[in-house]
Structure formats: structure tokens, C-alpha cells
Amino acid sequence: MTRRILVTSALPYANGPIHIGHLVEYIQTDIWVRFQKLRGNRCIYVCADDTHGTAIMIRARKEGRSEEALIAAMSESHQRDFDGFGIQFDNYGSTHSDENRTICAKIWQSLRDKDLIAERPVEQLYDPEAETFLADRFVRGTCPKCGRTDQPGDNCVCGHTYSPTDLIDPKSTLSGATPILRESTHLFVELEKLHGFLADWIDTSDALQSETANYLKGHFLANELRDWDISRPGPYFGFEIPDSPGNFWYVWFDAPIGYIASTQQWCDSNGEKLEDWWNSDSCEIHHFIGKDITYFHTLFWPGMLESAGFRLPTKVRIHGFLTVAGEKMSKSTGTLVSAETYLKYSNPSYLRYFYATKLTPRVEDLDLGIDEFTEKVNSDLVGKVVNLASRVGKFASTTGLSKQYPDDGGLFAAAAKAGDEIAAAYEACDFSRAMRRIMELADAANPFVEHAKPWEMKKDAERQGELQDVCTVALNLFRQLAIYIAPVLPDLAKQCGDLLGSPITSWDQSKTPLVGIPVAKFQRMMDRVQSKDLKKMIDESKELAAADAAQDNASPTNDAAFNDSDQPLKDEPIADEISIDEFAKVDLRVARVVSAEHVPEANKLLKLTLSLGGDERRQVFAGIKAAYDPEKLVGRLVVMAANLKPRKMRFGLSEGMVTAAGPGGEEVFILGVDEGAQPGQRVH
């Protein structure tokens, strides 16, 4: 039965270009959508630019143009970059559209009708020079706890969280002015009134990955849900709230509604009805998002949809962040590469494939190592997949394909059978497993050509029939690979279709070989990655970052607050010496890992529940995510510092520390304990 599926990716913010970190999500989504279409399902992919907020208003002011002109230029840039990477939307809209304004008003009225809106005065920092209220990210100052200077408005690197009004000597990043406190009326969604519905949805819907559901239940639903501040006073670039003049919907209210508005635009262009997609139980809705916006898409958004009578998500598919060589992407090192810069130096198919080899159904960060990137592309794509076609392509244009499919020792039949397994991996968003299985088929197919030696058959006039058979087998095995990898490499699928005169349009084409047809002249399909090109790409990214920084520093209204932070912490001096007696105060105890899970909103942390013997349990957050699979930690004995003062983190309370050593990243090693040790036993 054909499925009807609506798919979205998070809306890119219209304040900057697309970079390779953003592309993880859009490539992941595009692969899944292409797979669904190849399987014959009716799958629609909609997206839009997220266009509202203070950042847009301030940037437009700085650049001397209207907000509308800014977001129009950015939309053109974003769509050009997406197209360059083969990302195909059925509709790409904007949150600054009539459709979005209308649907926002409808949902807002539903919230009003259900008595979910509260109004109360709020004191907020206000920039008297920029003449705007300041969000947390537009304020920096001295941490009230540790005294570090130049810290953002919500948390310090020391781990302390606070309100921007708590900062010592706060400064506006928009103008450098000292902000003042000013009171304004804000409107709130009383999310606690939807607590029961949200808890039930998360428990019963199967919409979330298990680690995400557990995280929400443990960190939010276990307590009273806080009210959601959903308005901002003017001046603000956005939609004014119809029944609250002078107040505007906060960007996070109208942004997800942009999914529905973009669908409305598609429906209007295609003679469809919106209710068939957003109000129908026969339609699936799949959201692809990054882990940093989990909270909005799994609590606020379902609450809004339920209140307004819209279809709830079938799946919220959450992915981790991209790191480069184990580190956060950085402008200063050239690893925060824009989509535009990448396309100057490398084939987009390479990045699509590399991401596919890393993406799993779990909320895990993925790392892009330049050496690994080069090796995977050159070995897998060039050395295995394309190699299968290139070694016979130049002969096949002369011979064509045999009238009957030759005996290949069962290779084609085995690959056809593997199609169901590969399809299941795609469906589950386990692209990594799908790529491994496809490469196993390539590994099985290539020895056939190697042993047959068609280049020798070409020289013998009496072996032309054998040569035709070898070409027939090799090109049909290549075609199977091209079909299976078509969601990832649509360009290669098209090249295969052009070569054999039979476009790849269906997954089931992998089950039947092509025979008795001519073969076009072989055209080079893919080149090897050159390290020198990647070096040029990184060097140019560094130069562009330096130029941007120089321009920002010369500007009277520095907008560095809008950019991704790439400044490493300054080297800190070694702490004061302590005596052996002071060190002896650390109470090291054996503990057993009872449970371990990912922290969806943290790059490096795992949440561990440790047993110290008897009924004593401790919750500890450990920065070992890159080094350890949480499932493999369960049952393991570790050494913990048991008498550390509990530390409140934004993910929860950490009640100790697991001891480990190493330089960091994947090279972190938990201190070993003899299995004969008992939980709670002191370590000397």
C-alpha cells in the first residue's frame, strides 16, 4: 500500500549562510525522502527560511536595508546552496508569509480558547542605543559566581546558570551600551496544563527515539512544566499579535508553524487540501531536527498542534552535531566551511556519502576527519562502486549487453535478496548500516571482473561473446549498487541510467537484470578526492573568517553575537599546589554502572546512574560520549569521586565524578577496577 508522508527539516535561520554542519540535517532528510519516493511512496518534503527576530532586525539596520530585502537575499542564497548539494524540496517558503500569518492566528486563537495564555509583566534588559529589548545572547558581562568576564547572558563556562539581569557590568553586544531594566507585558503559554497529554503522547506514540523520550520524562515531565514566554515587545521584526497590540509572536512560535504554511503553499500550487496532510490519520508527518531544538519540537510543538486540532508528528527524528577532527567546528581553524566554499573545491556527492556512512537512528554526534573522508570516498566510491563500471564500460559500448543474463555464480540473485535488508536500514534512518551492506555487495562483485580480465578478452577475437557476458554481469551488478545508493548519490544514479539507457526510477528495478540492449559510450563518473583541494578549502575558510572578523571589528554595531562561537578558552594557569593531606580528602569509591544514556542536548556527556552498594544510587554526568557506547558501560565497575559537592547542570544534578584519563575526545579511558571489587569499596 502506498504511504502518504510529509517530511520537514528544521527551518534555517535567515541570518547567515548554510555551512557543512547545517548540511548534516538537510542531507539526512533528503536521503530519506528520496528513498521513500524510490519505494513508490507519495512523499512531500517542505521547508522554509526562519526569518523573524531581533537578530534579523539589527542586521538589516546595520546593513542599511529593509528586513524584507535581507531575508529575500538570504532565501536565494540558501536555496542555491541546497540545490548545489542535490537537496530537493517540494516547497521552500518563508515564515514571513501571508500563509504563516494566517495559520499563526488560527493556532493562537485555539490557545486562547483553551485558556492556555497568561499575561504578566516582565523585567528585561533594554539597550537604550539600539532601542530594543535584549535576548540572553545579546548580553555579555561578568559571571556573578566565578568572576569570569565576557560571559553570555544565560550561563558561564564555569557551569553556573543565571538570568542576564544577574550579570555584573552587563553590556549589549549590539551597541556596547550598558543596558537598563525596563518592564513590559509578556504573554505565556501555560504548558503545565498540557502535562498529562504530553506525558501520554511521549509514552504511547513511538514518535521519539528512546533516549529522547527518557530524557524528557526524567528532566521535564518529572516536574511541573514552566510557562513558555511566547511574545516580545516592539520593536521586533515579526508578526504583531492581533489581540495584543505592540507585542509580537516570539520567533519560536511562528517558526514551526512555517511547516504548515509551507505545506499550504504547496497545496495551493498543486490542487491539494491542507487537511489531507495536517488533519488526516492516513498521512505520516516526519520532522528531522538537531538535538539542540529537542525541547521545542517535543513539548511546545505537540502542545500547539494538539490545541489547534492538527495532526501530531509520526516521528521526530533527532540527530547529533557535526565535529571536525574531534573538535567543534571553528572559523579560526577553517573547519566551519560554508556550503558555497565547499562546492568550489569538492564534489557534493562526497559529502552526501560520508555523512550517510556516519548517520544512525540514534542521537549521536558525527565526526568529519579529513583523512577518513578522503579514504572513504576514494576507497568505497571510486575504488569499488564506480570501478565496477569503469573497468568494462569502455568495452560495453561496443558489445552491448547479452540477450540472456549469464551465469554469475549467484551474485545478482544475492544482491537482489539484500535489497529488503538495505531498505529496512534506510527506513530506520540507519544509513550507516545501509552503506556498509552496499559496500559488502561491491566487495563481492569486483572480484568477478578482476578474475575475468575483460581487458585480455578484448584482444582475442574468439572471446568477444565472453567479453559481452562479462560486461553484462558487471554493469548489472553496478546498476544494482547504483539503485541502492541512489538516495545518497542521485547524480551517480543518473549517470548509470544514461549509460544503460534506462533511468533509475524504482527500488524494484534491482530485482531484474537488463539484457539485450546497447550501452552508451562510457563517461568518467567520479574522480578521487585530492588532499590539496581540501587544504585549499580550509585555507579559504580561514581567510573568509578573518575578513568577516575585521569587518565586524570595524563596525560600530558588532554583530559577533549572531555568529557561532569559535574562540577557544584562554590557557589557564596551573592551580595552586595542594598538600597530600588535602588530596587524601577525595573519597574514591568503586561503583557499578546501573544505566547509561546519551544526553541529547550535550556534545560530550553521558548520563550515568551508579550504584555504591545497597540502595545508594548516584547520578553522574561524564564527558566520555566520544569514547564509550553507553550500552557497553552498563554493568561495568568504575572509580568515582564520591564526596564531591553535587553540581547543578542544565541537564540535571551531577552527584560525583567518574575518574578517567587521556587527552580527550575518543581518547578518554575510564580507570579500570578488578571485577572482584565490590561497589562502595574505597580505592586507595
Give the torsion through C-alpha atoms of 67, 69, 74, 75, to 10 deg. 100
Q: Strand ranges (DSSP E) for 220-282?
A: 228-229, 231-233, 247-249
267 known member of a binding site: no
| Residue spans in the chain of domains classed CATH 3.40.50.620 | 4-115+190-328
657: β partners: 641
C-alpha cell at 606: 553521558
158 known member of a binding site: yes
pLDDT in tens, 367-426: 999 999 999 999 999 999 999 999 999 899 999 999 999 999 999 999 999 999 999 999
CATH says 117-189 is which class? mainly beta
The owner of cell 566554499 is 341
Phi, psi (5° rounding) for residue 151? Answer: -100, 150
Single-letter amino acid code for the residue at 276: D
Q: What is the pLDDT, as a whole number, of residue 29?
A: 98
C-alpha 303/C-alpha 192 separation (Å) is 10
Q: What is the pLDDT, as a whole number, of residue 568?
A: 29
609: β partners: 595, 619
| Residue spans in the chain of domains classed CATH 1.10.730.10 | 346-511
| Residue spans in the chain of domains classed CATH 2.170.220.10 | 117-189
Name the helix (H) or strand (E) containing 456.
helix 454-457
C-alpha cell at 40: 513508490
Establish how many alpha carbons lie within 13 A of residue 643's alpha carbon, considering only the half-sphere containing its beta carbon. Answer: 9
C-alpha 522/C-alpha 392 separation (Å) is 9
C-alpha 167/C-alpha 151 separation (Å) is 8
For the domain covering 4-115+190-328, report its CATH number: 3.40.50.620
- CATH topology for 580-670 is OB fold (Dihydrolipoamide Acetyltransferase, E2P) (2.40.50)
146 known member of a binding site: yes
pTM: 0.80
The stretches in the chain having pLDDT less than 70 are 550-582, 584, 600-603, 614-615, 648-651, 662-667, 672, 674-676, 684
Peptide bond into 233 cis (omega under 30): no
Phi, psi (5° rounding) for residue 439? Answer: -70, -30
Name the helix (H) or strand (E) containing 647.
strand 647-649
Short-list 284, 67, 315, 290, CA closest to 208: 315
47 known member of a binding site: no
Under 8 Å between Cβ of 212 and 298: yes
Q: What is the pLDDT, as a whole number, of residue 679?
A: 82
Under 8 Å between Cβ of 138 and 172: yes
Residue 57 burial by CB count (10 A; 0-12/13-18/19+): exposed, middle or buried?
buried
Could you name the CATH architecture of 346-511?
Orthogonal Bundle (1.10)
